[in-house]
Structure 1
Amino acid sequence: MKYLFILGRNSELSKEEVRAFMEKEENKILFEKKEKNALFLETKNPIKKEVVDFLGGTISIGEVLEEGTWKELFTKLDKKQIYLGESNKLNYLIWNFSEDNSYNQISDYLKARFRSEKLKATEKHASGFIKTQEGEEVRNLRSPNVEEEFFIFGDKNKIYFGKIIQKCDYEKIELRDTKKPVRRPELSISPRLAKILINLSQVKQDETLLDPFCGIGVILQESLLQNISVVGIDRDKKAIDGCKQNLIWFNFDKNKYKILNSDSTKINLAEKFSGIATEPDLGTILKKTPTPNEAKKTLEDFEDLMIKVINNFKKNLKPNSKIVFTSPLIRLHTGKRISCNGERISNATGIKIAPGFPIDEFREGQIVGRQIFVLNR
């Protein structure tokens, strides 16, 4: 099966999340290729219908309908019903990820095709550009009001044409984040990033995930929505009370979660966990750029904290499990961003950093961003 994943602003992080998710689902990737913010995958098995709801870094997913040279592609498409709707009015969009920028050929084909089928079809265009984490400018990923979205991917030797079959429901995610009883916008991570961390941990349904710095429970809620059991710990009593309120508001099965007001550097747990996903304390919220010495102190304190926490819980981790966490990425006056010493954490805990990590996650102008670490037990 062949699919196209249209990735979010941080396409490198999103790509690693998709890879981890497929591995967790035991759906082998037979071939992959990335072009700008699009990831083309050939997988051994079909993907599930609700996959995009579980992914934090994917905007939409398309399925390849036909492939070949342009001549072969058009011959195949002539024999295939492309539009399956009942209305004779159609607004559609084409995502262009072809290397030779051959958008005009598919655009002209679809216009002629829909005209021959007596459809009142109008091609819409995504307006504006956004800057990705990698500094590239790509078309705005939020599409206008359309009934169908198509895509092309490839080069002059082989073009893949397909249709978007799954789209991220931003309104639903925002609603559940803003309507819950307790929020901490300045401290809590987004549901999007929470899902990415969970998927990178590769904890499966009916397994148990540990969050040693659970706060008001964003990672816990997103795990429970995937039918993953959780244990959450935080030494902040107010945060723990808020976490309990939020999980009750979601009406989760109370047998699926345990919330503890304790210190993750010291607490002794008997349970075994399939993985850890967490956002620790990233340091004081900064309104102005710190000095190099202040930044260095913040990063060293963070390293000390993570070494203690990982050493405390590594006995509770099942074999081959993963530890996923965010760390501070601090911008100095020079514009340079500095991060914690991951090798120091790895050496002091005896747990190796996964290939390809850490990955930066920040927005332009942000003083404290994040690095995403994955450690392999």
Structure 2
Amino acid sequence: MKRLKPTGEYIYTFAYTEDEKELCQMEMRAFFSKDTNDKIIRSDVGFEPSRSPFVKERIEVLFEAAELAGILEQSADVNMETDTFKVIFLKINGLALADKVDFDEKREIERQIGAAITGEADVHNPDVTFGLIPFGDRWYFGKYRQSESVWFRHQQKPREYSTALSTKVARAIANIAVPDPVGIKAIDPCCGIGTVLVEALSMGIDIVGRDINPLVVDGSRENIAHFGLTGKVDLGPIADIEQQYDVAIIDMPYNLYTHATPAEQLEILKHAQPFTEKLLVVTIESIDHMIEEAGFTIIDRCIAKKALFLREILVCERTDNPSNSVKQLQQA
């Protein structure tokens, strides 16, 4: 295939239920520094779409145009040489009415673009898949990549308990905590059976785990090994942590194996303050006052729902971090 130079922009499409909307939008803000009520976003931020449990597809934009005719014209410059290809018109439920195209028209547009491209089409097993989508007042064409539900494969693990985070929520939390893993060191100091650790490690995030309960530490190690991953999980209290980390993820203990009283929860937060600048907390009860008392400031938040069970997810930074003055959310 003759190399086409990407524009540096990407189009992502999303799929989520109404209960998942807040969590998905929080993940969007972590990745893109913005969110949307539409199930589509354009950004210059590029990442593997399978990282997100909510991303359906990604187009790496090769060219765009105000009209479809402009896409057809530029498609004539594409020479696949020895590579086979196919073109798909993305189906997006969240598109505005003006952007919607019916089924027959989509197939005809796919055929026209395919005919304009120099090369051999293969609808079943192509070397390259191209995607086309209208968005806003423009058309976008580029390399298409479909997301894989990696988190789904992690649902069946050797060790589990009923109140653990779902793998889908855990994956989103790992992304919110560490949207760009390059050079970032993370820790889950109350890791339980390692649901967050498995998701984070599977995405190449440099993270270690820790817990005071030897039973769940063993379970966490077994779960990590079960999926062919390598990760360190230590036994010990959060108070003993001496190394510095860029981010800590704390799912407040509330299950049968490790339950923390309010006083113990506050101590956990206070012990986290010296070793991390950024903290992501998962809690089933309001702990804003504890966050503040422990020396952190909440900069983003959402509710993650699982039937009638609600978890609050709080992204915090150390209050003594000067950047907090511009990052704080406006509280209603």
After TM superposition, the score normalised by the length of structure 2 is 0.72
Closer/same/farther in 2, CA of residues 12 and 107 from structure 1, 3 Å limit: farther
Match of 1:233 in 2: 210
* Structure 1 gap segments, 5+ residues each: 23-28, 123-146, 286-297, 329-338
Aligned: 1:322 with 2:273: no
**What is the DSSP-based 3-state SS (H/G/I as helix, E as strand, rest coil) of the residue aligned with 1:34?**
coil
In the aligned structure 2, how far is the partner of 1:213 from the partner of 1:18?
Answer: 26
Deviations 1:197-234 (A, max 9, x none): 22222373454322122111122222223333333222
Q: For the Cα contact (< 8 Å) 2:13–2:55, is it kept in 1? A: yes
Match of 1:340 in 2: 286
Aligned: 1:79 with 2:38: no
In the aligned structure 1, how far is the partner of 2:38 from the partner of 2:249?
Answer: 28
Aligned: 1:259 with 2:269: no
In the aligned structure 1, how far is the partner of 2:69 from the partner of 2:39?
Answer: 26
In the aligned structure 1, how far is the partner of 2:79 from the partner of 2:161?
Answer: 42
Match of 2:197 in 1: 220
Match of 1:108 among 94, 99, 105: 105
Return the offset for 1:33: 7.0
Match of 2:271 among 300, 312, 315: 312
In the aligned structure 2, how far is the partner of 1:40 from the partner of 1:113?
Answer: 22
Return the offset for 1:340: 0.8
Q: Which structure 2 residues correspond to residues 107-186 of structure 1 after superposition, within 5 A?
A: 108=105, 110-111=107-108, 114=111, 117=115, 150-154=132-136, 158-162=137-141, 165-170=144-149, 172-178=150-156, 180=157, 182-184=158-160, 186=162
Deviations 1:238-263 (A, max 9, x none): 2111112222334444xx52321x34
Closer/same/farther in 2, CA of residues 14 and 113 from structure 1, 3 Å limit: closer
Return the offset for 1:100: 4.1
In the aligned structure 2, how far is the partner of 1:159 from the partner of 1:16?
Answer: 27
* Structure 2 gap segments, 5+ residues each: 1-7, 124-128, 319-332
Match of 1:36 in 2: 38
Aligned: 1:95 with 2:98: no
Is 209-218 or 230-239 further displaced after alignment? 230-239
Closer/same/farther in 2, CA of residues 64 and 341 from structure 1, 3 Å limit: same
In the aligned structure 2, how far is the partner of 1:87 from the partner of 1:206?
Answer: 36
In the aligned structure 2, how far is the partner of 1:345 from the partner of 1:42?
Answer: 37
Match of 1:14 among 15, 24, 31: 24
Return the offset for 1:87: 7.7
- Give the AA of the match of 1:226: M
Q: For the Cα contact (< 8 Å) 2:10–2:59, is it kept in 1? A: yes
In the aligned structure 1, how far is the partner of 2:39 from the partner of 2:85?
Answer: 32
In the aligned structure 2, how far is the partner of 1:238 from the partner of 1:274?
Answer: 27
Closer/same/farther in 2, CA of residues 313 and 79 from structure 1, 3 Å limit: closer
Closer/same/farther in 2, CA of residues 74 and 249 from structure 1, 3 Å limit: same
In the aligned structure 2, how far is the partner of 1:374 from the partner of 1:191?
Answer: 19
Closer/same/farther in 2, CA of residues 207 and 367 from structure 1, 3 Å limit: same
After TM superposition, the score normalised by the length of structure 1 is 0.65
| Residue identity (%) | 16
In the aligned structure 2, how far is the partner of 1:376 from the partner of 1:207?
Answer: 15
Aligned: 1:367 with 2:308: yes
- Give the AA of the match of 1:20: A
Closer/same/farther in 2, CA of residues 307 and 107 from structure 1, 3 Å limit: farther
**What is the DSSP-based 3-state SS (H/G/I as helix, E as strand, rest coil) of the residue aligned with 1:307?**
helix
- Give the AA of the match of 2:138: I
Q: For the Cα contact (< 8 Å) 2:302–2:313, is it kept in 1? A: yes
In the aligned structure 2, how far is the partner of 1:252 from the partner of 1:121?
Answer: 36
Closer/same/farther in 2, CA of residues 215 and 372 from structure 1, 3 Å limit: same
Closer/same/farther in 2, CA of residues 204 and 175 from structure 1, 3 Å limit: closer
In the aligned structure 1, how far is the partner of 2:237 from the partner of 2:312?
Answer: 23
Closer/same/farther in 2, CA of residues 91 and 347 from structure 1, 3 Å limit: closer
**What is the DSSP-based 3-state SS (H/G/I as helix, E as strand, rest coil) of the residue aligned with 2:36?**
strand
- Give the AA of the match of 1:239: V
Closer/same/farther in 2, CA of residues 113 and 220 from structure 1, 3 Å limit: closer
Closer/same/farther in 2, CA of residues 345 and 60 from structure 1, 3 Å limit: farther
Q: For the Cα contact (< 8 Å) 1:276–1:323, is it kept in 2? A: yes
